[in-house]
Structure 1
Amino acid sequence: MLDSAVAWMNARGNTEQWGTVPYSQTSGGAARIERYTTVNSPYVAELDGVPVGALVLDSGPSPQMPIPAAGEPERYVRLLVSDRRHAGLGIGAALLAHAVDETRRAGIGLLRVDCWAGGGGELVAYYERNGFAPTESFLSGTWPGQVLARRVG
């Protein structure tokens, strides 16, 4: 799914968000996915028994990202991806709604996510449509990022 997401972004002219190399071939990509599925809390959306999306929750942002601490307990969306062949079905929105439910069930009132803020802000707008509000902007090298938050209490 991640490899096809890179190809889809590149076909749309977006080579900055995740680069041009298939995710499975990036340095540390496979190890990151293994951590997501063993250390973090992964959730997979299925359609007729076939995986069509994935979301990974953690207790905070990646330590490699220059993101300020929340100052309170939180759940953090570390990964959200959907199979672009099923675009428009609300898979990402359903996974985000599940993240809200999981955060609430854990008795935590804050759900955050960071995303690429380039490309005219389309991804930031997507998270805003799903109930998140922009908080801090950041730069990771030359990669423009935006942190967004949602209260779930």
Structure 2
Amino acid sequence: MNDTTHGIRIRPGGPADVTATLEMLDGAILWMNARGNTQQWGTTPYSQKPGGVARVERYLTENEPFVAELDRSPVGTLVLDSGPSPLVPIEPAGEPERYVRLLVSDRRYAGQGVGAALLAHAVEETQRAGVDLLRVDCWAGGGGELVAFYERNGFTPTDTFLSDGWPGQVLAQRVG
């Protein structure tokens, strides 16, 4: 486990973290919907979306998952992969990369640095792998708050994309 700021500890994740991650995703959708954002992830709880549970199970077994904890309770999940999802219309980087497939935090801990701590860990893991490029894609709609969050955490916007009417932004960070 790694100690990080604000008492957040980050550990490797795995299949035992599926339930907590699904609860965070469901909570994030409720939180977004309560603020009028129904476009980013829709209104159906993630755990009830077709393929949602299987996707999280796959992420936590086939990819590089990490879980942030406060007082030994999961408060965030980060999943790294070697490239973007084939479901998203994003060009390969043309060089080795680490890609943030999933970043979610328990909204009850909003503002406590959970997402930032997980992204800092992603930078460390990318460096540890000897890779220079870390990328992520996110929803670019609304007022651009999510894009701004990634920019505050060292990422630079690169490409935009549209996936079934869903506006996306790819961001990159050189970590070498």
- Whole-Å separation in 1 of the counterparts to 2:135 and 2:118: 14
* Aligned CA-pair RMSD: 0.4
Match of 2:130 among 78, 91, 107: 107
Matching of residue 116 in structure 1 with residue 139 in structure 2 = yes
1:143 aligns with 166
1:88 aligns with 111
Give 2:37's aligned amino acid.
N
Unaligned runs of at least 5 residues, structure 1:
none
- Whole-Å separation in 2 of the counterparts to 1:60 and 1:41: 12
Unaligned runs of at least 5 residues, structure 2:
1-23
Alignment TM-score, normalising by the size of structure 1? 0.99
1:55 aligns with 78
CA shift digits 1:130-152 (9 cap, x unpaired)? 00000000000100000000000
Identity %: 78
Give 1:120 deviation, angstroms.
1.2
Match of 1:43 among 53, 66, 73: 66
- Whole-Å separation in 1 of the counterparts to 2:101 and 2:141: 18
Give 1:104's aligned amino acid.
Q
Matching of residue 24 in structure 1 with residue 47 in structure 2 = yes
Structure 1 runs of 4+ off > 4 angstroms? none
Give 1:92 deviation, angstroms.
0.2
2:149 aligns with 126
3-state SS, counterpart of residue 68 of structure 2: strand
CA shift digits 1:87-107 (9 cap, x unpaired)? 111000000000000000000
Aligned residues: 153
